[in-house]
Chains A and B, each alone.
Chain A
Amino acid sequence: MNALTLWFHRLGSPPTFYAFADRWRPWLLWSGLLLALIAAVWGLAFTPADFLQGESYRIIYIHVPAAWMGQFVFVLMAVSGFVALVWRIKVAEIMAIAAAPTGAAFTAIALATGSLWGRPTWGTYWEWDARLTSTLILLFLYFGVIGLYRAIEDHRKAARAAALLSIIGLVNIPIIQYSVYWWNTLHQPSSIQVLEARSSIDPSMLWPLLIMALATKLYFGWAALTRAQTLLLEQESGKDWVRAIVTASAAKQGDMA
């Protein structure tokens, strides 16, 4: 077994995963916040205004990274759910559930910013356009996954049911992706092409956007790991490693008092 697979196997054990999350969380949070600050200041103050949309286009620096994250997190949740269903790894179950609320929040932000931008640009807050509708469905699917997890009492069974639902909900992702090409409705196609050299966005506007996209991923990593840690402590309570962590942190607080 090579080092990477061994590391991956070790990560499946809750105490190792907890320590791993403890190590990475501060880095993820602070680098994420710093990059978000850089991207926001750069995008809002130092990029040129758009030729057609004027200043209102600047919401792209929030809207597009949030929309990307909404879909990215759903795929991640489904992949983690698949791992959980096939190999019955508890940490994978917990990661899938821990990812859901942040993904839902990003989707909600994408919908809200899009609708605020649509008012001056399209002249309407909301239109039953294919991409808007499919993104709204994505939000409902997040709610469905979270709701199903909460509705079943046994944690592991709940996680497996939610994982299966997220895999079923995966059919919505290509629909969101291609909705702007399949249906010729209001939402414009993406102006950013990663693989093809026909991006229609100017490089001076692109860089802050990419930095913000990276920042949202780092922030998501922090949020998901934090939630996963809490879920692990809750579900593994009574195990020795949890007791050790709780006593250690209680002793620390006692020292400070």
Chain B
Amino acid sequence: MSAVPSAVCAAMALAKRDLRVLWRRRADAVNPLLFALIVSALFPLALGPEAKQLARIAGGVAWVTVLLASLLSLDALFRADLEDGGLDALLVSGQPLPLLAFVRLATHWLTTGLPLSVAGPLLAMMLGLPVAAAWVLAASLLLGTPVISLLGGTLAALTAALPRSGIVLSLLVLPLTIPVLVFGAGAVDAAVLGLSPAPGLLWLGVCLALALPLAPLACAAAMRISVT
């Protein structure tokens, strides 16, 4: 048997491959952003264009929108690999599976969470969120979207084998991400009201610090369950 490449090599190879696959389907990759744009545009249409009211809810709207948009992209995270045997290849590669899972989750964040963290504050400002609060929103999204990717990706690995996993996945991910939403939107709300956003942001940091080491382990276990 030929020498097994080092774990770092394998991780880099997987990252490169994931990014390349995504680049070849870049039209798909833009979809979450378009979805977020359209959903935010629905709020003024549904609630009326009163500027004061919109400015008050803009932070929360941006958070819900980002959460739903990342949910949409999670569904496909492991599906194709499970169908074409790519997931089996990862499992038998002899590499530490949590590391590979981490790479997969990290690329998901890089390609959806990060763009949405940039777009979220812009969308909220479109609804009239003050600039100072928009910075807080950006910070809360940068801390919160990785948690969504880590948690959601783990559950996506768990539901990958289901025939219609989309709806089940949403029902599993949404309750678990409620704390992230509460802290993120709470921090923005505090900033709008002139209070310190620090507690919410610190709680988001706690969530991230917990999810970062634990989610790859859980995700690896979920990948094993899905393949067998």
Q: Is the CB of B168 within 8 A of A148?
A: yes
Report the minimal beta-carbon distance from B174 to chain A, rounded to whole angstroms.
8
B222 touches A140 (CB 8 A): no
- Distance in Å: Cβ of A169 to nearest Cβ of chain B: 7
Distance in Å: Cβ of A141 to nearest Cβ of chain B: 6
Is residue B161 within 8 Å, beta carbon to beta carbon, of the partner chain? yes
Pairwise interchain contact B159-A148, C-beta atoms closer than 8 A? yes
CA distance A143 to B159 in the complex (A): 15
Binds B, one of A157-165, A190-198, A226-234: A157-165
Q: Which residues of B, 156-170, contact A by the 8 Å Cβ criterion?
A: 158-159, 161-162, 168
CB nearest neighbor in A for B168:
A151
Asked if A133 lies at the interface with its beta carbon under 8 angstroms from chain B, I say yes
Across the interface, do B158 and A157 meet the contact criterion of CB distance under 8 Å?
no
Q: Scan residues 124-160 of chain A and give those whose CB is less than 8 A from a CB of chain B.
A: 133, 137, 140-141, 143-144, 147-148, 151-152, 157, 160
Complex interface: stretch among B60-68, B82-90, B128-136, B175-183:
B175-183
The answer on a CB contact under 8 Å between B168 and A140 is no
Report chain A residues within 8 Å CB of B151: 168
Please give, as numbers and ranges, the residues of chain B lying within 8 Å of A169 by CB-CB distance. Answer: 176
Q: Which residues of A sit under 8 angstroms from B176, Cβ to Cβ?
A: 137, 141, 168-169, 171-172
Number of inter-chain CB pairs below 8 Å:
55
Contact check, A133 vs B172: say whether CB atoms are below 8 A apart: no
Residues of B within 8 A of A89 (CB): none
Supposing A144-B175, A147-B168, A171-B210 touch, asked if A164 and B161 sit within 8 A by C-beta, the answer is: no
* B226: A residues at CB distance < 8 A: 161
**Residues of B contacting A165 in the complex (Cβ-Cβ under 8 angstroms):** 155, 158, 172
Distance in angstroms from A90 CB to nearest chain B CB is 15
Residue A175 is within 8 A (CB to CB) of chain B in the complex: yes
**Total contacting residues, chain B, CB less than 8 A:** 23
Q: How many residues of A contact B (CB 8 A)?
A: 22
Of listed B176, B182, B228, residue having the most chain A CB within 10 A: B176
User: In the complex, which residues of chain B have a beta carbon less than 8 angstroms from the beta carbon of A148?
Assistant: 158-159, 168, 172
A168 x B154 contact (CB < 8 A): yes
Q: Are B222 and A144 in contact (CB under 8 A)?
A: no
B218 close to A144 (CB less than 8 A): no
B228 and A157 form a contact (CB under 8 A)? yes
**What residues on B are CB-neighbors of A175 within 8 Å?**
179
Closest to B203 in A: A182
Interchain CB contact under 8 A, B221 and A164: yes
* Closest partner residue, chain A, to B224 (CB atom): A160
Smallest CB–CB gap between A187 and chain B, Å?
15
Tell yes or no: A167 within 8 A of B by CB. yes
With known contacts A141-B176, A148-B159, A161–B168 Cβ distance under 8 A: no
A205 interface contact, C-beta 8 A: no
A151 and B162 contacting across the interface, CB-CB below 8 Å: yes
CB–CB B178/A137 < 8 A: yes
A85 within 8 A of B: yes
B171 at the interface (CB under 8 A from A): yes
Q: How far is the CA of A164 from the CA of B226 in the complex (A)?
A: 11
Bound form: Cα–Cα A254–B106 in Å:
64
Residues 118-158 of chain B, each 1 if its beta carbon lies under 8 Å from chain A, else 0? 00000000000000000000000000000000010011001
A contact residues vs B (CB 8 Å cutoff)? 85, 133, 137, 140-141, 143-144, 147-148, 151-152, 157, 160-161, 164-165, 167-169, 171-172, 175
Chain B residues at the A interface, C-beta cutoff of 8 Å? 151, 154-155, 158-159, 161-162, 168, 171-172, 174-176, 178-179, 182, 210, 218, 221-222, 225-226, 228
Ordered by A's residue number, 12 sampled pairs between the chains whose C-beta atoms are within 8 Å are A133-B178, A137-B178, A140-B171, A143-B171, A144-B171, A161-B159, A161-B226, A164-B218, A165-B155, A169-B176, A172-B176, A175-B179
A137-B178, A152-B161, A164-B225 known, 16 other contacts, Cβ within 8 Å: A133-B182, A137-B176, A140-B171, A140-B175, A144-B172, A144-B175, A147-B168, A161-B159, A164-B158, A164-B222, A165-B155, A167-B218, A168-B155, A171-B210, A172-B176, A175-B179
